[in-house]
Amino acid sequence: MKLNALQALVAAIDEGSLRAAARRVGVTQPALSKMVRELERELGAPLLERSTTGVTPTAQGRILHARAKAAVWELDEAVQQIGQMGGRMVGQLAVGAVPLALLLLVPEAVRTYSRAFPAMMLQLREELYIGQLELLRQRQVDLVVGPIPEDLAPGECHVEPLMPIEMAVVVGRGNPKARARSLRDLQDSRWVYTSLSGQSGYAKLLFERHGLQPPAPAAIVNSTLGLLSLISHGDCVGLMPLPIATHPAAAPFMQVLKLREGPLPLALGAIALSTVAVKPAVRHFITHLHRAAAQVTA
């Protein structure tokens, strides 16, 4: 299989259009179509379903797309890494970050990193912790900045702690639950979880750490804006990083509860796949994150 044919297939499936894929790869549409057809003949299987509205992958196409995309990504990474090892800090660095990291660390890290390596293009993506590892595994980002998970597979990721953080229990202004002084007082409350399901999340972890039965979630969200909206405009309870809950943009609408159990302590860290952490661009950005964290905690 030729690399340019695999690149053509990846682009066609990503874009959903042969015309858009051709523009992305930098060839004519007939040339791209020919590469994909030759790949189909070589494998003896259809890879794309073609229609007047675009293209979609067949079952065989989905299998090859996943492997080909990873292979193309690995080769691109190798080319960039070899260049960077020779002192040519040129290329792209994709960073996923939780809102707290975007508030406290990323702006300063980007400022100093970009000044040191002006030819590097940074791509920033906001993502809650629940989706960060999947972004890494799918090679959509090189690095994530967020709470360090407790269940990482040994050897899968390179992790560097940056700073301690606290997740506080918050309610909207005027919520009767503002009088609560213990987690027990909140077991019957309408909780908002930031998780993939009601079977996980930091709210569940907080209750379990204190030997209490976690309440079932009334809602599950995957965005900070969704969490802010449900808490500030309703009768819900949730967990939020203390610096965000007390930020001038949020503080007028919510109240941090002072519970006997205290907030949930976590560690904010930089996480990269072990195979990616050796990339000079990644190592340098982590160094700048450490410097930014030192300023915040000083």
Q: Which fold has domain 3-83?
A: Arc Repressor Mutant, subunit A (1.10.10)
CA dihedral 67, 69, 72, 76 (to 10 degrees): -130
Q: What is the pTM of this model?
A: 0.73
How confident is the prediction along the chain (298 residues), in pLDDT tens digits per residue? Answer: 888 999 999 999 999 999 999 999 999 999 999 999 999 999 999 999 999 889 999 999 999 998 898 888 777 777 767 776 666 667 889 999 999 999 999 999 999 999 999 989 999 998 877 677 888 888 889 999 999 988 788 888 999 999 999 999 999 999 999 999 999 999 999 999 987 666 678 899 999 999 999 999 999 988 888 899 999 988 899 999 999 999 998 999 999 999 999 999 999 999 998 877 678 889 999 999 999 999 998 7
CA 122 from chain centre, in angstroms, equals 15
DSSP string spanning 123-158? EEEE--HHHHHHHHHTTS-SEEEEEPPS-PPTTTEE
Per-domain boundaries in the chain:
3-83, 90-298
Nearest to 236 by CA among 166, 178, 168, 167: 178
Listed residue (246, 252, 247, 215) closest to 233, CA to CA = 252
CATH of 90-298, one of 3.40.430.10, 1.25.40.10, 3.40.190.290, 1.10.10.10: 3.40.190.290
